[in-house]
Amino acid sequence: MDARILLLGANGLLGKAFAAEFQQRGIVAVCLDRAGCDVGDIDQVLAVFDRIAPALAINCTAYTKVDLAEKERDQAFAINAQAVENIAVACRAHRTRLIHFSTDFVFDGTAATPYQPADKTNALGVYGESKLQGELLLEEINPPGWLIVRTSWLFGATGPCFPKTILERARKGQPLKIVNDQIGCPTYAPDLAAATLNLMDKNVSGIHHITNSGQCTWFEFARAIVTEFGINADIQPTTTAAFREVRPNQAVRPAYSVLGDRELSALLGRSMRPWQETLASYRAAWMER
Domain 5-161+185-213+257-274 belongs to what topology?
Rossmann fold (3.40.50)
Catalytic residue numbers, as ranges: 127
Q: How far apart are CA 240 and CA 252, in angstroms?
A: 9
The span from the CA of 268 to the CA of 49, in Å, is 30
d(CA 151, CA 128): 12
Rounded Cα gap, residues 5 and 18, in angstroms:
11
How would you label 14-32 residue by residue, b for 16+ Cβ within 10 Å and e otherwise?
Answer: bbbbbbbbbeeeeeebbbb
The answer to whether 7 touches 34, Cβ cutoff 8 Å, is: no
Q: Is 195 exposed, middle or buried (0-12, 13-18, 19+ CB in 10 A)?
A: buried
Grade residue 16 by pLDDT with cuts at 50, 70 and 90.
Answer: very high
State pLDDT tens for residues 139-195.
Answer: 999 999 999 999 999 999 998 999 999 999 999 999 999 999 999 999 999 999 999
Domain boundaries, the chain: 5-161+185-213+257-274
Cβ-based neighbour number of residue 111 at 10 Å = 17
Spatial contact of 232 and 176, defined as CB atoms under 8 Å apart: no
- The Cα 277–Cα 34 span in angstroms is 33
The per-residue pLDDT for 3 is 52
The yes-or-no verdict on residue 197 having pLDDT over 80 is yes
